[in-house]
Structure 1
Amino acid sequence: MPDVVTITMNPALDIATSAEAVVPTDKVRCGQPRYDPGGGGINVARVVRTLGGDALAVFPAGGPAGDALDLLLDRDGVPHQRIPVAGSTRESFTVDERRSGQQYRFVLPGPELSKAEQDLCLETIAKTAADARFIVASGSLPPGVPADFYQKVADVARRLGVRFVLDTSGEALRQTKSGVYLLKPSIRELRERTGRELRTEAEQVAAARGLILDGVSEVVVVSLGSQGAVLVTRDAHESLAPIEVPIRSAVGAGDSMVAAITLGLARGMDLRDAVHLGMAAGAATLMTPGTGLCRREDVERLYSAWRLRAG
């Protein structure tokens, strides 16, 4: 059985391409497209697999795009459990503008899931994660799924005795009240969750620790983009410097960070080392174009460089 089971409630067929310039009205002539299976938890499973770990990706999918997800995950050798749904899986479209170096990301909402389909997702998670060490939920919720769905996943994890890792935003984050082992909000998501600006590190730490004291999560890792990250527990915190790399695309960087943190913990790393492995994976994904995720050799090189600096 896998160490890590991921759930992606709103998966996507990711399409990436490039164009000289993105302009209104005129046809935008694009380069050859790249197709990848996408969505937060699917990306997490892909990165765990890339780094030599064992993960199962669970997701609801339907229609031609859902069929394409199956084929692409088979292509990449990622074990997966598809939950059939009536609606068609969404597509997401990313265009890199060669002239400016800017990236344009077009994200569709996804199909509406019925109550029966939602219940089947929870049942499938409970069955597939019975012997896992971690359940990871990452990404948005599709139409029709109530904002407290991830709380229901947390409750499943608690019943199974499995640690739950969560990376989400908006109302889905606000409605998750307990049962999370590790929460990874971005600074924007933490601001939205608390309703405060959180301009200083002290304010960020206090906000993260507030979630811990309220019983939402045992550990909070706040990603700060180009400013690095902050690791917060009940009794301590640490500011983590960013890993400087040339940036080609930000798609999947947060998911890669979550994947490597979870894999590191599953392999027995201490929390600090696992978070640094996550930062290395996130940085390595920034180096890849379009919807591509990190390469194992880049992650290992960046992590080893940090270990040398840390002594």
Structure 2
Amino acid sequence: MRDILTVTLNPALDFATQVDSVVPGVKLRCAPARTDPGGGGINVSRAIALLGGTSRCLVALAGRNGEALADLLRAAGIDLITHKAPGETRSSLSVRDEKRGEQYRFMLPGPAWAPADVIEAERSILDSARPGGLVVISGTMPPGVLPDLIPDLCGKLREKGCETVVDTSGPPLFFIARAKGPTPDYLRMNQEEADDLAGRRLASLQDSADFAQSLVRRGVARLVIVARGPEGSILATETERLHSRAADVPVRSKVGAGDTFVGSFTLAIARGEPLEEALRRGVAGAAAAVMTEGTALCRREDVERLLELCPTGPL
């Protein structure tokens, strides 16, 4: 199996709880909180471990929250590579309203980085990457990090013989989509992000496939995935378009569903699975993740059971 390195520059100590009903102006009596290490690449590594795979997890950590997060990762058996970050690692909170079945997610921004912090982090990533491996860059970037960091990393990692899997949003995603520099090998986005990039609503599976393939043909990535929630996900290359339909499952929490997709998909690629199977496993992983509470991600047995309920084929 190919080496997998995940990168999380803006991690979070995640707290998840539930209340009977979210209403303003009163004290809300919450259930005991579940605490998990969070952030895009961290969740990808957690999902890979839950699915029986291995990865190395490079995380920028700071302060007491960073120490607590590192302890949780080690307890989960994650192969952790720590990088010293400025300030204090952020926290996040998700609260489920049991009466309405809705989830509220509160995300703090994280500490601001200076240019020197970015240079040191990039050096750590390049030193940790192994030739021939897959490097997953997932999640938001810390305040102060310019949007050209990911393309710059993609170029330098390619020179080292690595492939990159990118799942990000906001200015970094728009910068990548302009294709003004090195680009990822695999690029994933959700439907809202794809709509924003397209400047219009992609109303159908066909619309998403057309848009994803147009990005590939413009040189934005070698392969583009668009996640369409309950409809599943679209995958496009220069010559191929695939769709995997999501299984119909009860939704308890959407936290980490996209990261679980990336973990399951990347693990399949690292094991040499064909694209159709990798897409199916990603969609089954995301479906399994929404079935669990709070920030718990997926159960391996659920993913295996759901595979047959995620039909995959050409679009």
TM-score, L = length of structure 2: 0.94
Q: 1:216 matched to which residue of 2?
A: 220
Contact 2:2–2:134, Cα closer than 8 Å, also in 1 = no
Q: 1:38 matched to which residue of 2?
A: 38
Q: 1:150 matched to which residue of 2?
A: 150
1:286 aligns with 2:287: no
Cα shift at 1:19: 0.9
* Residues in 2 aligned to 1:117 and 1:81: alpha-carbon distance in whole angstroms: 16
Contact 1:134–1:164, Cα closer than 8 Å, also in 2 = yes
Deviations 1:96-132 (A, max 9, x none): 1122211111011111112121111111111111245
Unmatched runs of 5 consecutive residues or more in structure 1:
none
Q: 1:205 matched to which residue of 2?
A: 209
Q: 2:166 matched to which residue of 1?
A: 166
Identity percentage of aligned residues = 39
Q: Which amino acid aligns with 2:257?
A: A
Aligned residues: 309
* Residues in 2 aligned to 1:97 and 1:6: alpha-carbon distance in whole angstroms: 32
Q: 1:191 matched to which residue of 2?
A: 195
Q: 1:29 matched to which residue of 2?
A: 29
Contact 1:251–1:291, Cα closer than 8 Å, also in 2 = yes
RMSD: 1.7
Q: 1:180 matched to which residue of 2?
A: 184
TM-score, L = length of structure 1: 0.95
Within 5 Å, which residues of 2 pair with 1:239-254?
Answer: 239-254=243-258
Contact 2:245–2:283, Cα closer than 8 Å, also in 1 = no
Within 5 Å, which residues of 2 pair with 1:1-311?
Answer: 3-131=3-131, 133-176=133-176, 177=179, 178-304=182-308, 306=310
Q: Which amino acid aligns with 1:296?
A: R
Cα shift at 1:306: 4.7
Q: 1:66 to 1:198 in 2, by over 3 A?
A: same
Unmatched runs of 5 consecutive residues or more in structure 2:
none
Contact 2:245–2:310, Cα closer than 8 Å, also in 1 = no
Cα shift at 1:23: 1.4
Contact 1:59–1:121, Cα closer than 8 Å, also in 2 = no
Contact 2:49–2:78, Cα closer than 8 Å, also in 1 = yes
Cα shift at 1:139: 0.7
